[in-house]
Amino acid sequence: MIQKKIKNFITVALTLSFSATVCIAAINGNVEKNGVSGDYNQVIDSKTQAPIRSADVSLPSKGYRTKTDTEGRFSLGAKIDAPTIMSVQKEGYKPFSLTIDSQSAGKPLVIGIEKTTPHDIIIDKDMYHIGDDNYSESSANAADFRIKAIGPFYTKNFNIKSLPQEGDMYLVIGSVIGIDTKMARDMGQSRVTTSYATAPQIYFNGNMIAELNLNGDNQQIKVPRSIIRQGQNQLTIKAGKNLFQTAYVDYDDIEIINLFIESKSKIASD
């Protein structure tokens, strides 16, 4: 049997430019087209390549949810017409998400997910819509806003039982869509031409650690060790504001999923 494989990595991250404070790392998931075994999507272990059964695959904004079969295969039973966040969750693995569009959803997706390590701190695996539910149809990914807004900010208290002895700590944001900053507009991520918004701001224990200027997957933000506590910590994400609406405050509506903390030594060993 001739097995011909065309393999290419999703270049979502590569098409984004780096903002001053946010480093966008290469994405774990890769797209693989298998011309022999047929066209199907699959979830595998990124290290062993073994298929992962009973993983939860969902498109939260479309209310679509399925599980992988014994061969790790799944299908997306929803029409993808605009960038949409896909989530993959499996006990013992890091929560994974990927922004897919009609083009990437049209090809078989092979998603490699990684086992969690003792130092991974998962803050939240759910999807949130931050903003006020008032947005332009031409906003970056406005078509996907099906989840009701939680308000202009997200905040969560979480516990860190033991801090790693050394290494840099990074807050990882699995996926974010809907950011309508000038940079996002200039990069072609937003079709809003008449206005733009300030960037959403990320606060860790009350300190602003980053502004998110671009949409994308797997954005990593360094968290200074000096502001991380053993015990209770707090993460807050504030929506940006439309700079061209003066009659009232119009928050820039975004959707965000998968918030966790990794240590640099772990990233380097991958």
Min dist CB 38 to Ca ion, Å, is 43
Tell me if 87 sits within 8 A of 95, measured CB to CB: yes
C-alpha–C-alpha distance, residues 27 and 11, integer Å: 8
Closest CB to Ca ion among residues 85, 179 = 179
- Tell which positions 134-173 bind Ca ion, by CB under 5 A: 134-135
| Residue nearest Ca ion, Cβ-based | 134
Closest CB to Ca ion among residues 184, 223 = 184
Query: Within 13 Å of residue 130, how many CA atoms lie on the same side as its CB?
Result: 24
Stretch that binds Ca ion, among 114-122, 128-136, 163-171, 182-190 (CB under 5 A): 128-136
Residue in 71, 114, 124, 132 binding Ca ion, rule: CB under 5 A: 132
SS3 letters for 23-55?
EECCCCCEEEEECCCCCCEEEEECCCCCECCCC
Min dist CB 102 to Ca ion, Å, is 25
Tell me if 151 sits within 8 A of 84, measured CB to CB: no
Of the candidates 35, 47, 127, which has an alpha carbon nearest to the alpha carbon of residue 87?
127
C-alpha–C-alpha distance, residues 157 and 233, integer Å: 6
Of the candidates 260, 132, 104, which has an alpha carbon nearest to the alpha carbon of residue 197?
132
Closest CB to Ca ion among residues 74, 135 = 135
Min dist CB 240 to Ca ion, Å, is 9
Residue in 144, 253, 255, 262 binding Ca ion, rule: CB under 5 A: 253
Residue in 250, 257, 258, 259 binding Ca ion, rule: CB under 5 A: 250
Closest CB to Ca ion among residues 18, 244 = 244
Q: Is 71 in the site for Ca ion (CB under 5 A)?
A: no
Q: Is 245 in the site for Ca ion (CB under 5 A)?
A: no
Min dist CB 132 to Ca ion, Å, is 5
Both tokens of residue 68? 């992988």
Q: Is 255 in the site for Ca ion (CB under 5 A)?
A: no
Closest CB to Ca ion among residues 105, 127 = 127
Tell me the site size for Ca ion, rule CB under 5 A: 7
Both tokens of residue 14? 């590569």
User: 208-225 as b/e, with b when 16 or more CB fall inside 10 Å?
Assistant: ebbbbbbbbbbbbbebee
Q: Which residues bind Ca ion (CB under 5 A)?
A: 131-132, 134-135, 250-251, 253
